[in-house]
């Protein structure tokens, strides 16, 4: 059976005190989840959050990582640096990185290769913008996104891969994709994975949904047969709403 995953992407929110307080609250309120739970604080607080959550079920996730190993790359953070503070998972290809920081398929492919080479677990984000959804081209977009990156590399460790479908029009807008839309595209992603990697191996890859997930819509979305969890933005910044979403799986 595929594992279930719920991750909170805190983006550029919460300083040191608030980051450690939030993870402590989550642990105190509920320390027995029926799925894998991750939180992704900002870089400077990964270590502290990791220390605070070390004896809990919560895993700590980085929001980004460099495609380079080391050297003169001002402002970058390497895989080895993350591993040195016991961070083993990272988000790659978030639409905010693609759109606001110019990360193109070539860069994302290099990041993926670097992560798999170094045994990192990857949450790889894909998803279409509103204009493409309106033209009914969402399947073509995600197909291209996968073909130009993930499907074009040989060293993918399928056991360390999670696909996050995040339609750009649903991120931070309060307008989530409805469960029919989510199921339809997750099913398509599953078929693409089956075709590329063979059914047996790829059936174990979780496909999670992100985009305005809230306690009042998560249950419906998580009930879809091809949805294995969620990547939560805004609603993960509060322990109560985040726990409600986790519990709805
Ligand atoms: P929101 O849940 O705030 O829409 O953000 C989703 C997201 O981008 C998670 O990575």
Q: How far is the CA of 9 from the centre of ligand 1 (A)?
A: 7
Q: Which domain holds residue 233?
A: 9-247
Q: How far is CA 172 from CA 9, 96, 111, 177, 179, in A?
A: 12, 11, 25, 12, 18
Which residue has its alpha carbon closest to ligand 1 atom 5? 233
State the closest ligand 1 atom to the C-alpha of 235, by its place in the atom list counted from 1: 2
pLDDT of residue 191: 97
Residue 2 lies in a domain: no
Q: Counting runs of H as helices and runs of E as strands, what totals does the chain give?
A: 11, 8
- Does the Cβ of 8 fall within 6 Å of ligand 1? no
Residue 125 is predicted with a pLDDT of 98
In a domain, 21, yes or no: yes
Active-site residue, 166 included: yes
* Cβ-contact 229, 6 below 8 angstroms: yes
Do residues 224 and 183 make contact, with C-beta atoms less than 8 angstroms apart?
yes
What pLDDT score was predicted for residue 153?
96
Q: Name the catalytic one among 113, 121, 166, 186.
A: 166
Ligand 1 midpoint to CA 127 (Å): 12
Domains contained in the chain, number: 1
In a domain, 3, yes or no: no
For ligand 1, the distance from its centroid to the CA atom of residue 129, given in whole angstroms, is 14
CA-nearest residue, atom 1 of ligand 1: 233
Residue 235 lies in a domain: yes
- Please give the sequence-ordered ranges of beta strands (E in DSSP) within the chain, or none if there are none: 5-9, 36-40, 58-62, 89-92, 121-126, 161-165, 207-210, 229-232
Residue 230 lies in a domain: yes
Q: Flag whether 44 is in a domain.
A: yes
40 alpha carbon to ligand 1 midpoint, in Å? Answer: 12
Q: Is residue 4 part of a domain?
A: no
pLDDT in tens, the chain (249 residues): 899 999 999 999 999 999 999 999 999 997 689 999 999 999 999 999 999 999 999 999 999 999 999 999 999 999 999 999 999 999 999 999 999 999 999 999 999 999 999 999 999 999 999 999 999 999 999 999 999 999 999 999 999 999 999 999 999 999 999 999 999 999 999 999 999 999 999 999 999 999 999 999 999 999 999 999 999 999 999 999 999 999 999
pLDDT of res. 32: 86
Name the residue at shortest CA distance from atom 9 of ligand 1.
233
Query: Does residue 197 sit within a domain?
Result: yes
Kindly state if the Cβ of 64 falls inside 6 Å of ligand 1: no
Q: Say what the pLDDT of residue 248 is.
A: 96
Give the CATH number of the domain where residue 45 resides. 3.20.20.70
The pLDDT value given to residue 190: 98
């Amino acid at each position: 059976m595929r594992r279930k995953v719920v991750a909170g992407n805190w983006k550029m929110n919460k300083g040191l005190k608030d980051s450690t307080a939030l993870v402590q609250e989550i642990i105190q309120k509920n320390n027995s989840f029926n799925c894998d739970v991750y939180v992704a604080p900002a870089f400077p607080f990964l270590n502290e959050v990791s220390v605070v959550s070390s004896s809990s079920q919560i895993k700590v996730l980085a929001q980004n990582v460099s495609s380079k190993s080391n050297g003169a790359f001002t402002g970058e953070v390497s895989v080895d640096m993350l591993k040195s503070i016991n961070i083993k998972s990272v988000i790659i290809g978030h639409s905010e990185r693609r759109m606001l920081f110019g990360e193109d398929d070539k860069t994302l492919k290099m990041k993926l290769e670097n992560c798999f080479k170094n045994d990192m677990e990857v949450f790889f984000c894909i998803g279409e913008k509103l204009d493409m959804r309106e033209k009914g081209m969402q399947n073509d977009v995600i197909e291209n996104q996968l073909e130009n990156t993930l499907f074009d590399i040989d060293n993918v460790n399928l056991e360390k891969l999670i696909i996050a479908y995040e339609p750009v029009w649903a991120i931070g807008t309060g307008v989530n994709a409805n469960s029919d839309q989510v199921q339809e595209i997750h099913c398509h992603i599953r078929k693409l994975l089956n075709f590329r990697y063979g059914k047996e191996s790829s059936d174990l890859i979780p496909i999670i949904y992100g985009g305005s997930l809230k306690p009042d819509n998560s249950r419906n979305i998580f009930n879809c047969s091809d949805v294995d969890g969620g990547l939560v933005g805004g609603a993960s910044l509060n322990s109560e709403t985040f726990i409600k979403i986790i519990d709805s799986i």
